Amino acid sequence: MNTLIIGDIVGRVGRNILKEKLKEIIEENKINLVIANAENAAGGNGITRKVADELFEMGISALTMGNHVWDQKEIFNFIDDEKRIIRPANYLPNTPGRGSSLLNINNIKIGIINLQGTVFMQCNKNPFLSADDEVKALREHTNIILVDFHAEATSEKIALGHYLDGKVSCVYGTHTHVQTADEKILSGGTGFITDVGMTGPYDSVLGMDKEKIIKKFTSSIPVKFDIAKGPAQINGLVVNIDENTGKCIDIYRINKNYI
Amino acid sequence: MNTLIIGDIVGRVGRNILKEKLKEIIEENKINLVIANAENAAGGNGITRKVADELFEMGISALTMGNHVWDQKEIFNFIDDEKRIIRPANYLPNTPGRGSSLLNINNIKIGIINLQGTVFMQCNKNPFLSADDEVKALREHTNIILVDFHAEATSEKIALGHYLDGKVSCVYGTHTHVQTADEKILSGGTGFITDVGMTGPYDSVLGMDKEKIIKKFTSSIPVKFDIAKGPAQINGLVVNIDENTGKCIDIYRINKNYI
Amino acid sequence: MNTLIIGDIVGRVGRNILKEKLKEIIEENKINLVIANAENAAGGNGITRKVADELFEMGISALTMGNHVWDQKEIFNFIDDEKRIIRPANYLPNTPGRGSSLLNINNIKIGIINLQGTVFMQCNKNPFLSADDEVKALREHTNIILVDFHAEATSEKIALGHYLDGKVSCVYGTHTHVQTADEKILSGGTGFITDVGMTGPYDSVLGMDKEKIIKKFTSSIPVKFDIAKGPAQINGLVVNIDENTGKCIDIYRINKNYI
Amino acid sequence: MNTLIIGDIVGRVGRNILKEKLKEIIEENKINLVIANAENAAGGNGITRKVADELFEMGISALTMGNHVWDQKEIFNFIDDEKRIIRPANYLPNTPGRGSSLLNINNIKIGIINLQGTVFMQCNKNPFLSADDEVKALREHTNIILVDFHAEATSEKIALGHYLDGKVSCVYGTHTHVQTADEKILSGGTGFITDVGMTGPYDSVLGMDKEKIIKKFTSSIPVKFDIAKGPAQINGLVVNIDENTGKCIDIYRINKNYI
Ligand SMILES: [Fe+2]
Ligand SMILES: [Fe+2]
Ligand SMILES: [Fe+2]
Ligand SMILES: [Fe+2]
Ligand SMILES: [Fe+2]
Ligand SMILES: [Fe+2]
Ligand SMILES: [Fe+2]
Ligand SMILES: [Fe+2]
């Protein structure tokens, strides 16, 4: 089965380009399942009920999150009841929402795990040990497991890939908003990429207006960021998984700039 | 003119694969100039006189560095006299070595600048403002200027690319050891990539033995890293620059895994 | 002359306790000049015109700031014209406001410098080198110079104290909101303390409601902080300076809990 | 009972001043139990068998540690068998040593817990949640419990004090090497101080040679630190605990500079 993973969707620009192009990408790549990172889907910050529904209606089956998960306060109203939204599993106890989810797509069970890095990021539970717990629980139901590791440092991301090699179908990074060119199948059969990239404004800094970010880096004054305007890009990853073994048998990047 | 930029060379594995394959890559891509980031060239940490000479003899014309520049103490003996080794320009005053260099290759003058990021890294001088100074000085001699921005955060790297757009031939990132897939020519004619990647052990975490790095992330005990063994990869970038205008007219990645 | 330095004033609780007790402290300690750190004076975040005037009316002659300086946007309206408000001198070029000021109190010229640390804080200009520039400029007018080093790390603060020893009258730390017990006169005659402490709610975490801060540290959910209620504390430092030499001849802490 | 807690002992200078003065301090303050933070006791970095024995022979009953615990490799040989050495309890699973210990001093049972902060430090397990586990286990045996919170940020340290208020006898901070002047008894009867301070070279930066540290902060070159020479200081805390209730009934600082 072919899974399409979409990198961090940024704002309306990101959602609109998907509305326009997702069907085409699905057909071209014979995609059976689409999931996406949606931590920036609502105006660059977090997600709302309306934005989530907009994405589900496009045919996206599940949304993983990251450090921006709580940016829109209304998420606390629906995250506990929405099985298709998954926040980092290594958050501290008593956090709303779930860190993994088991989907049933055309009678195939697929486990999805979200984890957040700790290097250069807030210190939560150790993501490697949390991954062990989540993988163990999901493998009682399926061996098709996808792991979104939302992290900054390349070392932490690649290390988790090797750590979970042979235990899950794919470990893919998100958060840096820049797609990496290191997609591969590890020796144990796990697909891997350091970062899937970003789906949103092409001519920008991580989706944000570039002049604002430059001002931030060249002054000692706080700067309010705006989402950039102009043409869009879609960054994604196609992972072909053997339904019996859960192994990754093919992996390639989607990198489209609609300029 | 075609410039080949080689991403962080890691240890003997990185040097050996270049010794074997560099000539071939130069020919295939009609390369006129080769430069490399060499901050990890000596056993993963810094550079020695012997390692530098080994790289120069392969046909590499200049070596940029980064946060590992001082790892081998003997560098203090030769960095002031070695015009072809360039350390970050935004280091504090009274630091040995130089932050930019003007090469003369076949009667073409080429300026090379090295800068280090400040996000998630040591705080030195502001790299944007240091870039202004270096670019201004070099442009009195040439409009062909290459900038190695050795930095962690994608936001800082992309912002510097846009900041220098139109003023230099190419801004390329190093340091994360993972090649990104976002090479492009910015609107002002400056080539850009967030990270060129790493030249060294393929089956590794940033060139290091993966079991050691996993141990680091799953325990509270310090772990001594070793360079990984096994097959090698070469990560590079080819930048075709118009010799009259200094603009980038073509940019593409070299991503070879000799597995 | 006896200078009273007041540690970070937090919100209305901090301002009110000063309104009530400052006169008494001034009399008891024969104070000739009062200055304060006011980066948290307006509701815990930054300063307004009204709050600044309230503090000046109490008899405070100058206000130094820190990382919270821009929290209230209206400061941009008056900081350039208000000689008595001093923001960190090592901010990047083109930042509004001034990093040092020369006061004239009863025909005595007093220089005040504000600097911000770089360890565990935003990377601005190097505070040691910026201190050199500011000290040099002020010493053309006076040898009575007070330096508020708004910084997190004890190492950076103590190092600056020794670095400026003999060149200024006193280097005192702010920002951690906890008074340290290491006040001393360094060998060159410069008074020093790592942190003056905080003037605000006593039963709190750095002035903030303790339950909110505990919630922040025990969950992965963002928490909105509130200023704590209840009794107040005044933290300050008295520095007796020889008016001819600018040397510190006595230094002691003010640590009052009105519980 | 009066417990004397000694702040981070730095190198031979720190050990020697204790050898000379500890007996005197014990007598003057009618001390029943002495414990110390020893993470810097061996040449500034970690602890050896010999140094530990030297400290035990002086009459120190237990040694807590911190981020420097593993600096001397020989500690792995004896930490598992040495009940009197306690490393941070919130280290990840499978770490050698113990995070708490139950001492029996003159038929009084005393629990000691060591924890490490996560703000501006390595990310281990959450110290608040680890504290809950350790306190629960120890309280089955005693209600006299001392907690060394080895942490950088004042907010995290004060928050833990309030979090454990009423559950332990004292929460005291270590690590910054600067004694704070905020010792108090919290409303639930728990003694608290943000940092006990440092026992070692007086004229120094955190025990280290000040010129070296200044060089570090004013250059971009790595600097090897040396322990400072010259006169010594002892920083400590006396906590008087009601043996029946485990409540703190008196708390005061020891701050002696032998200059
Ligand atoms: Fe994102
Ligand atoms: Fe993110
Ligand atoms: Fe590197
Ligand atoms: Fe690097
Ligand atoms: Fe403050
Ligand atoms: Fe502050
Ligand atoms: Fe220490
Ligand atoms: Fe420490």
| Residue C203 sits at the chain D interface (C-beta within 8 Å) | yes
Does D205 contact C158 at a Cβ distance shorter than 8 Å? yes
Q: What is the CA radius of gyration of chain C?
A: 17
B112, β-bridge pairs: B101, B146
The residues near C73 (Cβ < 8 Å, ≥ 6 apart) are none
Pick the ligand that lies closest to the CA of residue D68. Answer: 8
| Residue D16 sits at the chain A interface (C-beta within 8 Å) | no
Q: What is the CA radius of gyration of chain B?
A: 17
- What's the pLDDT band for B232 if we cut at 50, 70, 90? very high
CA of residue A226 to ligand 1 center, whole Å:
14
Does A92 contact D126 at a Cβ distance shorter than 8 Å? yes
Closest Cα to residue B74, out of B96, B55, B93?
A: B96
A127 vs C6: CA distance, rounded Å: 44
Closest Cα to residue A107, out of A201, A200, A243?
A: A243
CA of residue D98 to ligand 2 center, whole Å:
36
Cβ atoms of C229 and C210 within 8 Å: the answer is no
Q: Is B252 exposed, middle or buried (0-12, 13-18, 19+ CB in 10 A)?
A: middle
Question: What's residue A94's pLDDT?
Answer: 87
Cβ atoms of A37 and A196 within 8 Å: the answer is yes
- Backbone CA torsion sign across A257, B2, B4, B5: negative
Question: What's residue C196's pLDDT?
Answer: 98
Instruction: Kindly list the residues from chain A whose CB atom is less than 8 angstroms away from the CB atom of residue D92.
Output: 126, 129
Does B221 contact D122 at a Cβ distance shorter than 8 Å? no
Select from A88, A92, A221 the Cβ nearest to the Cβ of C95.
Answer: A221
Cβ atoms of D47 and D77 within 8 Å: the answer is no
The Cα angle at residue A259 between residues B194 and A61, in degrees rounded to 5: 80
Pick the ligand that lies closest to the CA of residue D88. Answer: 8
A116 vs A86: CA distance, rounded Å: 12
Instruction: Kindly list the residues from chain D whose CB atom is less than 8 angstroms away from the CB atom of residue B221.
Output: 70, 95-96
CA of residue B225 to ligand 3 center, whole Å:
14
C contact chains, 3+ CB pairs < 8 A:
A, B, D
DSSP state of B92: P
Does C220 contact A122 at a Cβ distance shorter than 8 Å? yes
What one-letter code names the amino acid at A121? Answer: M
Is the pLDDT confidence value at B23 over 90? yes
What one-letter code names the amino acid at C220? Answer: S
| Residue A70 sits at the chain C interface (C-beta within 8 Å) | yes
B171 vs C133: CA distance, rounded Å: 33
Does A126 contact D129 at a Cβ distance shorter than 8 Å? no
Per DSSP, the residues of D189-240 read S-EEES---EEEESSSBTTB-HHHHHHHHT-SS-----B--S-EEEEEEEEE
The alpha-carbon gap from A61 to the nearest alpha carbon of chain B, in Å, equals 26
Does B159 contact A214 at a Cβ distance shorter than 8 Å? yes
Is the pLDDT confidence value at A187 over 90? yes
Does C154 contact D178 at a Cβ distance shorter than 8 Å? yes
* C92 to chain B: closest CA residue: B126
- What's the pLDDT band for C227 if we cut at 50, 70, 90? very high
Instruction: Kindly list the residues from chain C whose CB atom is less than 8 angstroms away from the CB atom of residue A124.
Output: 220
User: What torsion do the CA atoms of C239, C242, C247, C253 make, to the nearest 10 degrees?
Assistant: -10
Strands D2-6 and D191-193: unpaired
pLDDT per residue as tens digits for the range C131-161: 999 999 999 999 999 999 999 999 999 999 9
Question: What's residue A200's pLDDT?
Answer: 98
Burial code (b: 16+ CB inside 10 Å, e: under 16) for D151-190 equals bbbbbbbbbbbbbbbebbbbbbbbbbbbbbbbbbbbeebb
* Alpha carbons within 13 A on the beta-carbon side of C216: 20
Query: Three-state SS for B259?
Result: coil
Q: What is the mean pLDDT of residues C227-242?
A: 97
Neighbours of ion ligand 3 (CB under 5 A): B 8, 39-40
Interface test with A, best of B123, B133, B203, B218 (most A CBs within 10 A): B218
Does A220 contact C122 at a Cβ distance shorter than 8 Å? yes
Does A220 contact C91 at a Cβ distance shorter than 8 Å? yes
Question: What's residue B94's pLDDT?
Answer: 87
What one-letter code names the amino acid at B82? Answer: E
Interface test with A, best of D92, D121, D123, D129 (most A CBs within 10 A): D123
The residues near B135 (Cβ < 8 Å, ≥ 6 apart) are B113, B145, B164, B167, B168
C235 vs D180: CA distance, rounded Å: 12
D82 vs D97: CA distance, rounded Å: 8
D47 vs D51: CA distance, rounded Å: 6
Listed in order, strand segments (DSSP E) in C117-197 are 145-150, 170-174, 184-185, 191-193
Cβ atoms of D138 and D66 within 8 Å: the answer is no
Q: Is B106 exposed, middle or buried (0-12, 13-18, 19+ CB in 10 A)?
A: exposed
Neighbours of ion ligand 4 (CB under 5 A): B 66-67, 175
A164 vs D124: CA distance, rounded Å: 20
B250 vs B99: CA distance, rounded Å: 26
The alpha-carbon gap from D77 to the nearest alpha carbon of chain C, in Å, equals 32
Interface test with C, best of B91, B123, B125, B155 (most C CBs within 10 A): B123
* Alpha carbons within 13 A on the beta-carbon side of D85: 26
Instruction: Kindly list the residues from chain C whose CB atom is less than 8 angstroms away from the CB atom of residue B118.
Output: 123
pLDDT tens string for chain D (259 positions)? Answer: 999 999 999 999 999 999 999 999 999 999 999 999 999 999 999 999 999 999 999 999 999 999 999 999 999 999 999 999 999 999 999 899 999 999 999 899 999 999 999 999 999 999 999 999 999 999 999 999 999 999 999 999 999 999 999 999 999 999 999 999 999 999 999 999 999 999 999 999 999 999 999 999 999 999 999 999 999 999 999 999 999 999 999 999 999 999 9
The distance of Cα D130 from the centroid of its chain, to the nearest Å, equals: 18
The residues near D155 (Cβ < 8 Å, ≥ 6 apart) are C205, C206, C213, D119
**Reported pTM:** 0.98
A135 vs A117: CA distance, rounded Å: 17
What is the ipTM metric for this complex?
0.97
Does A218 contact C91 at a Cβ distance shorter than 8 Å? no
Question: Does C68 participate in catalysis according to the annotation?
Answer: yes
The residues near D231 (Cβ < 8 Å, ≥ 6 apart) are D201, D202, D203, D257, D258, D259
Does A91 contact C122 at a Cβ distance shorter than 8 Å? no
Select from D94, D219, D220 the Cβ nearest to the Cβ of B219.
Answer: D94
D225 vs D209: CA distance, rounded Å: 7
Closest Cα to residue B87, out of B111, B63, B108?
A: B63
A228 vs A230: CA distance, rounded Å: 7
C147 vs C116: CA distance, rounded Å: 11
Question: What's residue C94's pLDDT?
Answer: 87
B contact chains, 3+ CB pairs < 8 A:
A, C, D
Closest Cα to residue C232, out of C251, C208, C197, C259?
A: C259
What does pLDDT average to over chain B?
Answer: 97
The distance of Cα D198 from the centroid of its chain, to the nearest Å, equals: 9
A 10 A CB-CB count for A32 gives 18
Query: Three-state SS for B109?
Result: strand
CA of residue D8 to ligand 7 center, whole Å:
5
Instruction: Kindly list the residues from chain C whose CB atom is less than 8 angstroms away from the CB atom of residue D162.
Output: 205, 210, 214
Instruction: Kindly list the residues from chain B whose CB atom is less than 8 angstroms away from the CB atom of residue C92.
Output: 126, 129
DSSP state of A226: -
User: What torsion do the CA atoms of A136, A142, A144, A149 make, to the nearest 10 degrees?
Assistant: -30
A177 vs A97: CA distance, rounded Å: 24
D4 vs A242: CA distance, rounded Å: 64
Listed in order, strand segments (DSSP E) in chain B are 2-6, 8-9, 33-37, 62-64, 85-86, 100-105, 108-116, 145-150, 170-174, 184-185, 191-193, 198-201, 232-241, 248-257
| Residue D223 sits at the chain C interface (C-beta within 8 Å) | no
CB proximity under 8 Å: D 77-96 to A: 92-93
C172, β-bridge pairs: C148, C193
Instruction: Kindly list the residues from chain C whose CB atom is less than 8 angstroms away from the CB atom of residue D212.
Output: none
| Residue A2 sits at the chain B interface (C-beta within 8 Å) | no
D11 vs D17: CA distance, rounded Å: 10
Closest Cα to residue A221, out of C75, B116, C201?
A: C75
Task: List phi, psi (to 5°) of D134.
Answer: -70, -40
Closest Cα to residue C112, out of C124, C123, C98, C126?
A: C98
The alpha-carbon gap from D122 to the nearest alpha carbon of chain B, in Å, equals 9
Cβ atoms of A153 and A119 within 8 Å: the answer is yes
A 10 A CB-CB count for A53 gives 11
User: What torsion do the CA atoms of C83, C89, C91, C92 make, to the nearest 10 degrees?
Assistant: 90
D contact chains, 3+ CB pairs < 8 A:
A, B, C
* A222 to chain C: closest CA residue: C70
